Amino acid sequence: MASKQWLVEDYEAGDLPLTSGETLHSARLRYHRIGELNAPKDNLIMLPTYYGGAAAGNHPWVEGNSPLDPDRYCIVIPALLGAGESSSPSNTAGAQRGPGFPAVSLNDNVMLQKRLVEDIFGDARIALVMGWSMGGMQALQWGCLFPTQVRAVLATCCTARCYPHNRVFLEGVKAALTCDHAFENGRYRSPPERGLRAFGRVYAGWAYSQAFFRHELWREQGFGSIEELLRFWEQDHLGQDANDLLTVLNTWQNGDISDNPVFGMDYEAALSAIAMPTRMMPCTTDLYFTEEDASEDGRRMPGATVESLESDWGHVAGGAGREAASHNRILAAARALLSGKAS
Amino acid sequence: MASKQWLVEDYEAGDLPLTSGETLHSARLRYHRIGELNAPKDNLIMLPTYYGGAAAGNHPWVEGNSPLDPDRYCIVIPALLGAGESSSPSNTAGAQRGPGFPAVSLNDNVMLQKRLVEDIFGDARIALVMGWSMGGMQALQWGCLFPTQVRAVLATCCTARCYPHNRVFLEGVKAALTCDHAFENGRYRSPPERGLRAFGRVYAGWAYSQAFFRHELWREQGFGSIEELLRFWEQDHLGQDANDLLTVLNTWQNGDISDNPVFGMDYEAALSAIAMPTRMMPCTTDLYFTEEDASEDGRRMPGATVESLESDWGHVAGGAGREAASHNRILAAARALLSGKAS
C-alpha cells in the first residue's frame, strides 16, 4: 500500500438539475481516489464525507492494516456539495456565489456521485459504500437508490433521515452563527469570526457525550483543559466558510433518503430497499444521531444488522481515526461486509 | 388555601460580603411568601428559584391539593441574585450596574437566604427546602451548610456541583449570546436581541430530550410546530436582561456546594453533611444534569434516596407544573418528606 498515493481529482458535471427544481451551474465534484478499478469493475469502494470534514478526513479508514486495501480496491472519497471542495458557496463564481448558492439535497449529492461512477468508473459495482454521520446518510441513500449496484453498506453514527431533535440541535448552531451582525445575511466581506467561534463552541457540547467530559477523554486528544478543546473547535470553524457551513447544514436538516422522485417521501419503502448486507453502527452515547433512532431505522432495513459502538465518545466515536476502539470495530465490520460474511 | 395570597417582599440586607472577596452593595433579596410562621417556628418551607425563572415560577408547587399547604406551612420563595428580582445587573444603581455587577456564588445566595431566615423568620427550622435545577443546587447547599436547621431536602434535576459537560453546554449558550456585537461586552444601551434569540434557540435543544421531540410532546404544551416552540424560547429570552442571564450562568457554572469556607472544596465532606432525609430526583432523559451524575451525588449523601423521574421531558420534567406525571411524583416525595415517612 505504501506505493499507492491518493489522487485529488475533479469531475466536471456541467449543469446539474437539483431536487429543488433549480440548477447548479458548472457543477464540480471533488474526489480523492486511491487504487485502480479492476477488469470486472466490481472493486469500487465509496466513502462519502461528513459535516465539517474535507475528503482527507476519511483517509484514516484506508491507512494501516485496513480491509479497505488500495491494492485490492479502487477507493473514492467524494466531497459533499457545499463543503468547500466540491462546488460550494465559497468557490463558485457569479450569481451562485455565497448566499446565491442553491439548496442541495442528500439526493442531489448522491445523484452527482452516481454520474461520477458512470462517467469515470464505467458504472462499476460498488463493493462497499461507507460513511460516518452525513457520510452514512449518503451511504444509505446510495443503498436504497441503487440496490443492484451496491453490494454492501456501512453507516456509522447516522440515521436515514434527520430526526426532529437533531434538527433542533442544528437550529441552535445555525442561530449562534447567524447571530453575528458581520454575517450580513451571507453577504459578508470578511468572515463572521464571532459567529464561527460561537458555532464551534456550541457544537462541541453536542459532538461528544456527557461521559466524554466526565472522564476527561479530551486528554486522549492531547488537550490540557476543556477550554483548550473549545478553542480548537473555534479555530477549526474559523477555517470554514459560513455560507458553506449553512449550505451543508441545510442538506443535513432536510436529509431524508425517501425525499426524491424514486420514493416520494415513502420512508418505509426507502428503508425496505436497503436489502443488501448493511451494518448500522450507532454510538451508545451519540447525542443527536441517537442509538434509538438509528436502531429503529436499521430494524426496518431488510439487510441491516445494528451493531452499537459502546463508547463514551458520543457522535465522534464513528469517525475515521477518532477513537481507536470504535475505529477498529468499524474496520472489522467493513472487513466482514467485504468478505461477504456479514449478510 | 383559597383565602391565602402570595406576598411579594424585599429583604434589604445592606452590604453583602461575597465569596469572591467583593461586596455587593445594598443587597436586596426579593421573596414571595404565603402562609404564617407557627409558634414553635418549625414550619418554614424554602423553594429557591431556577435559572431563567422568576419567583412566581415555583407557585405551581403550592397550588391545588399540594402537601406544601399554606394553611400549615410558611412557604418562602427566595429569588436568585442576578436573576432580575433580587439584586441584579439590571436593577442595580451605580458602579455595580450591568457589567459591573460582581460575581455571586451558590454560597452567596444561600448565605443571604440564611440571613433572611434569621432576621425575618426568627431563624426558624426549615421543614423542607426544595428546588429544581439551580433551585435544587441551592437546596443541597442549604442541607450541607445548615444540617441541624434543615429537616428535609428535595432536589429535582440537579447535582451538587456543575459537572464538566454541563459547563460546556453553558459555554455554548454564553457564546451564542455574546456573539451579538450589540452586546458590547455588557455595555449595551438596547437589548442584544439577536444574541438573546440565539441563546433561546440553542438552549431549547438542551432543555428537553431527544424523545421529547421524537414523540412531539411539544404539542402538549400547545405548540403547533417545533418552530413555534423555538419562537417561544426566543421570546422568553427577549424578556430577560443579558447581563442578568450571564451573572446567574456564572453562578451555575461555578456552582459547587463545597466551594465555601465551611468545606473548602472538600466535595466528599459537603455531600456527607447531607444526612437529613433527602430525595434526589433526576430525570432519566436530562441532557445536562444527568441521572448518572445526580445518582452518584445522591449515593454519597447519607440521608438521600435517589428516585429517578422516568420521563421524556428531559431537564424540564423536574420543574413546577411542567409535566403532570413528574409534578405529581415530586409532590408525593415532598409529602413523604414532610410527614417524616421518607427517611
Q: Is-catalytic flag, B286?
A: yes
pLDDT tens digit sequence for A60-85: 999 999 999 999 999 999 999 999 99
Q: Cα A3 vs. chain centroid, distance in angstroms?
A: 28
Total beta-carbon pairs less than 8 A apart between chain A and chain B: 128
Q: DSSP string of A53-114?
A: --GGGGGGGTSSS-SS-TTT-EEEEEPPTTSSSSS-GGG--GGGSGGGPPP--HHHHHHHHH
A167 reaches B (C-beta below 8 A): yes
Q: What is the pLDDT of residues B49-101, one digit of tens each?
A: 999 999 999 999 999 999 999 999 999 999 999 999 999 999 999 999 999 99
Residue B340 C-alpha cell reads as 417524616
Nearest CA in chain B to A169: B205
B90 is catalytic: no
Structure confidence by residue, pLDDT tens digits, B172-182: 999 999 999 99
For A112-123, write each residue's pLDDT tens digit: 999 999 999 999
Beta strands, E only, chain B: 7-17, 23-34, 44-46, 74-78, 126-132, 153-156, 278-281, 304-306
User: Is A238 part of the contact surface with chain B (CB cutoff 8 Å)?
Assistant: no
Contact B293 A210 (CB under 8 A): yes
- Per-residue pLDDT averaged across A232-253, rounded? 97
| pLDDT band at B143; cut points 50, 70, 90 | very high
> Is the minimum CB–CB distance between A159 and chain B shorter than 8 Å?
no
Distant-in-sequence, close-in-space partners of B6: CB < 8 Å, separation ≥ 6: B32, B33, B34, B56, B59
Residue of A nearest to B177 (CA): A176
State how beta strands A153-156 and A278-281 pair. parallel
Q: Do B176 and A179 touch (CB under 8 A)?
A: yes
Optimal mutation site among B179, B225, B289, interface A, most CBs of chain A within 10 A: B179
Which domains does chain B show, CATH number per domain?
7-161+256-338 (3.40.50.1820), 166-250 (1.10.1740)
- Taking an 8 Å cut-off on Cβ atoms, the answer to whether A287 and B290 are in contact is no
What is the least distance, in Å, from the CA of B164 to any CA of chain A? Answer: 6
Handedness of CA A91, A97, A103, A107 (dihedral sign): negative
The model's confidence at residue A54, banded by pLDDT at 50, 70 and 90, is very high
The residue ranking higher by pLDDT, B240 or B342, is: B240
- Which residue of B lies nearest to A286 if distances are taken between CA atoms? B210
One-letter amino acid at B251 equals T
Residues of A within 8 A of B181 (CB-CB) are 180-182, 194
Task: Judge whether residue B104 has pLDDT over 90.
Answer: yes
Quote the mean pLDDT of chain A: 97
Matching residue, cell 438539475: A17
For residue A342, the model assigns a pLDDT of: 63
B212 touches chain A (CB under 8 A): yes
Instruction: Look at residue B8 and tell me whether its pLDDT is greater than 50.
Output: yes
| Selected catalytic residue, list B32, B88, B209, B315 | B315
- Tell me the pLDDT tens digit for each residue of A203-224: 999 999 999 999 999 999 999 9
Q: Looking at this predicted complex, what is its ipTM?
A: 0.93
